[in-house]
Copies of this chain bind each other. A is one copy, B any other.
Amino acid sequence: MEMIINQIEKEYGPLSSDCKNEIIKHIHFLTFKKGEIIVREGQYSDKIYFIVEGAARAYYLVDGKDVSDYFAFENEFISSIISFFGHQPSPHYIELVQDSIVIEVSRKSFDTLSKRFHDFEHLIRIVVTKVMLQQQERISSILFQSAEQRYKHILSIRPDIIQRVPLKHIASYLGMTLETLSRVRNPKT
Contact = CB atoms under 8 A, between A and B. Distances in A.
Interface centre among A121, A125, A138, A175 (most CB of B within 10 A): A125
A67 B62 CA distance: 28
A140 interface: yes
Interface string A114-156: 1000100110110011011101101110111000000000000
Interface stretch (A29-37, A38-46, A79-87): A79-87
A54 interface: no
Q: How many copies does the complex hold?
A: 2
B85 A133 contact: yes
Contact of A128 (B67, B129, B143): B129
Nearest to A86: B133
Interface of chain A, helix or strand or loop or mixed? helix
A139 to B, nearest CB: 6
Contacts of A143: 67, 142, 175
Contacts of A132: 81, 85, 128, 131-132, 135
A43 B60 CA distance: 37
B62 A136 contact: no
Interface string A55-86: 00000101000010100000000000110011
Interface of A: 60, 62, 67, 69, 81-82, 85-86, 91, 114, 118, 121-122, 124-125, 128-129, 131-133, 135-136, 138-140, 142-144, 175
13 contacts: A69-B139, A69-B140, A81-B133, A81-B136, A82-B136, A85-B129, A118-B121, A124-B125, A125-B128, A135-B136, A139-B142, A142-B143, A142-B175
